[in-house]
Structure 1
Amino acid sequence: MKRIESLDYLRGLMALAVMIYHYVSWSTGPVGSEHLLGKLGIYAVSMFYILSGLSLGLVYYGKINTATDVGSFLIKRVFRIFPLFWLVLTTSICLSYLSSVMGGKAFEPDLFKIFLNYSLLFGFVDPAAYFTVGAWSIGNEMVFYAILPVVFLLSRRSAFILPVAIAASIAAGIYFAAYSLNAGVPLVEQWSTYINPFNQLFLFMGGVALGVYGHPLKGKRISSITMLSASFLVFCFYPVVGDTIVIVTGAERVILSFSCMAFVAGLYFLNPTFSAAPAKVLGFFGSACYSIYLMHPVVAKVVVALSEKLGLGAVVGYTASVFVTLGVSWVVFNYLEKPMMNAGKKVASIFERKGRVAILT
């Protein structure tokens, strides 16, 4: 099906938001939940989950009918996720080794943790055992990719399977917001609980629900604009103050998550177009969003260290890191991600053909 470019643009903008949030908080100190950037530091990743679920729901619902279809789906996901993740992981390990050597310390890596990261199994085993900044969300995605084809496959037997799965994911999210997380304790002290994939699954499944059930509202301009405007205002101006724990617990979790869902839905239903120049810039951000998201902490580690060594300071280093990250992401997307995605499609196609032949014989 034809790509919905406005959704790609939003992915790119959310990747930029995460990068800016990290660079600001690392250079000037924590950003509270009362600031828009503080909200985006948490909910930009939530938007990724919603967008991922929406995209996969649109493409794969009704098309995963056999074990071969499941295999093809997983092959494409592996070729999309693993190559860049391995590059960033390997670079991070090398930088840790160099830092240890230069600091006169022994380099003693946790080999099991490294195995969990190279295999991308940490999301299933220990969501907090990620090695690189931001990688926790990729571990969550791998769990979602394991769940989705099973749900779609079972949906062939009963139309109630998908609604039940969506409802169960919402119930899990409410449980975490109301009971598992303590609104009186800083989020950093409960991080391992927050990043549990079952605390995030409702966002992904909400996106799937939009893709599967949202068609009747697509193209209704007034309703879409109203949804976009209202959700944007709620997200920006809903009054919260303090540590980011306050925006992932209680009613705030429900309100802000719903506003993110409504914003994505409004954008999907409206699908606005842009003139050539903005579309080209936004298109680059959208294409390179995965690289921007994973590469920016690694780039900053090198650039900021160099900036401080030259006496320019951390702020200059983080500012320069924005531009270096964008340049590196362009190279990585064009020379690693894009070729690997094309290779994944070819391998999946061969797998599908062999699967059909095996069924016929």
Structure 2
Amino acid sequence: MAFDPRNNSLNLIRLVLALLVLVSHTFPIAGWGDGPMYADENLGGWAVIGFFVLSGYLIMGSRVRTDAGTYLMHRVARIFPAFLVCLVVTALAFAPIGYWRLNGTLSGFLTTANTPANYVFANSFLRMSDYSVAGTPGAVPYPGAWNGSLWSLYFEFLCYIVVGLLAFVPLVRRSAWGIAVAFVLSVVAQIRVGDVVALFGGNGEIPLLAKLLPYFLGGALLYMLKDRIRFSAPFGLLAAGVSFATISLVPSWGGQLVAPLVAYALLWVSLVLPAPRVILRNDVSYGAYIYAFPVQQMVVIFGGHTLGLVPYVLICTAFTAVLATASWLLVERPVMRRVRRGTPSPAPTAAQAAVTPG
């Protein structure tokens, strides 16, 4: 069967990936170690990779259907408003409570070295430069970081830019060869990441971009091949098996090499996995991703982690669900609707809601 952009459970899969990030972060935030690992990557890291391969498929579709200006406007509208609101909520809601619990007063909260205002301003362009606010969170197992999940959004947006620029090349828009070449080069860059980092003067962001870009381009490549491939259970299981084996054998770059197969497996699952109607109509995965970490820190501040792993996860999931739903209903969906009304676009698909929750 072909991939049906109107009838799939991608919203559910992305929500599950966001919740896997929450579970993964539970261990360091509560002081219980690194948590489950596979091929030198924790559970949250693999969830982020899942977001990137799916996003690559969906965002490539968005780019080839729209002009560069509309594409960029949609991508900015999808990722920035909810992100900026999250920064403000962290600075003006979570952090004051954390500061009061730590110091017994709010005196000095607005004038500390890393002020709430500077937390919002310094991080407002996605590149996280300070994860703390007014010295909080403190006296917790994982101090100094209110939202360790937000780092991936910067790299997600860099991938948007890469695909946006590649699509200016006529070959990229007309056939799969252009993206195939870009994908192969990105895998080579990951294999030779030390040499690539040296070319950029040791820039610490390059290893992360080299790691994540092949996953995004692997998903993009699968989109460009969509008219030639069909999804079925035998091939879906085969793709998953080959991916697992390759990653196990070559953990340093095997995942990047099989990124198109990972995308195939996830998309196949989205076609056969049923999803509740409310999830089909509402994508709360981004909100879950960006609010889970501060919620988890706040629950720890009030001692919720002492109840044990399962109660702690359930409490954090419940509060995160409330904030994620509010983010979708009050920020994300209204902004995207307004942007779509103001720009001509083809029939809406799952790509219009795609973003890494990472």
Inter-partner Cα distance in structure 2 for 1:41 and 1:177: 24
* Structure 1 match to 2:288: 292
Q: CA deviation at 1:252?
A: 0.7
3-state secondary structure, aligned to 2:271:
coil
Inter-partner Cα distance in structure 2 for 1:256 and 1:163: 16
TM-score of the superposed pair, with normalisation by structure 1: 0.73
* Structure 2 match to 1:141: 156
2:15 is the counterpart of 1:30? no
Q: Name the amino acid aligned to 1:289.
A: S
3-state secondary structure, aligned to 2:113:
coil
Q: Given the alignment, which residue of 77, 80, 86 partners 1:79?
A: 77
Inter-partner Cα distance in structure 1 for 2:130 and 2:162: 20
**What do the CA deviations read for 1:221-246 (whole angstroms, capped 9, x no partner)?**
432332235435766xx38xxxxxxx
Inter-partner Cα distance in structure 1 for 2:323 and 2:89: 13
Unaligned runs of 5+ in 1: 123-127, 182-189, 240-250, 351-361
Q: CA deviation at 1:256?
A: 3.5
* Structure 2 match to 1:19: 22
Q: CA deviation at 1:313?
A: 4.9
| CA separation of 1:12 and 1:348: change in aligned 2, threshold 3 A | same
Inter-partner Cα distance in structure 1 for 2:120 and 2:113: 11
Bigger shift: 331-340 or 27-36? 27-36
Inter-partner Cα distance in structure 2 for 1:18 and 1:256: 18
TM-score of the superposed pair, with normalisation by structure 2: 0.73
| CA separation of 1:161 and 1:263: change in aligned 2, threshold 3 A | closer
2:190 is the counterpart of 1:173? yes
Q: Given the alignment, which residue of 48, 51, 61 partners 1:48?
A: 51
Q: Given the alignment, which residue of 149, 167, 179 partners 1:152?
A: 167
**What do the CA deviations read for 1:239-288 (whole angstroms, capped 9, x no partner)?**
8xxxxxxxxxxx3132234455423213435753345xx4447648x811
Q: CA deviation at 1:156?
A: 5.2
Q: Given the alignment, which residue of 325, 333, 336 partners 1:338?
A: 333
Q: CA deviation at 1:336?
A: 2.0
Percent identity of equivalent pairs? 19
Q: CA deviation at 1:75?
A: 1.0
| CA separation of 1:221 and 1:215: change in aligned 2, threshold 3 A | farther
Bigger shift: 260-269 or 83-92? 260-269
Larger helix proportion, structure 1 or 2? 1
Inter-partner Cα distance in structure 2 for 1:226 and 1:139: 33
Q: CA deviation at 1:207?
A: 1.0
Q: Name the amino acid aligned to 1:55.
A: L
Q: CA deviation at 1:15?
A: 0.9
Q: Name the amino acid aligned to 1:253.
A: S
| CA separation of 1:271 and 1:102: change in aligned 2, threshold 3 A | closer
3-state secondary structure, aligned to 1:153:
coil
Unaligned runs of 5+ in 2: 132-146, 346-358
* Structure 2 match to 1:185: none
Give the conservation status (yes or no) of the 8 Å contact 2:18–2:286. yes
* Structure 2 match to 1:184: none
2:228 is the counterpart of 1:228? no
Total equivalences in the alignment: 312
* Structure 1 match to 2:301: 305
2:89 is the counterpart of 1:91? yes
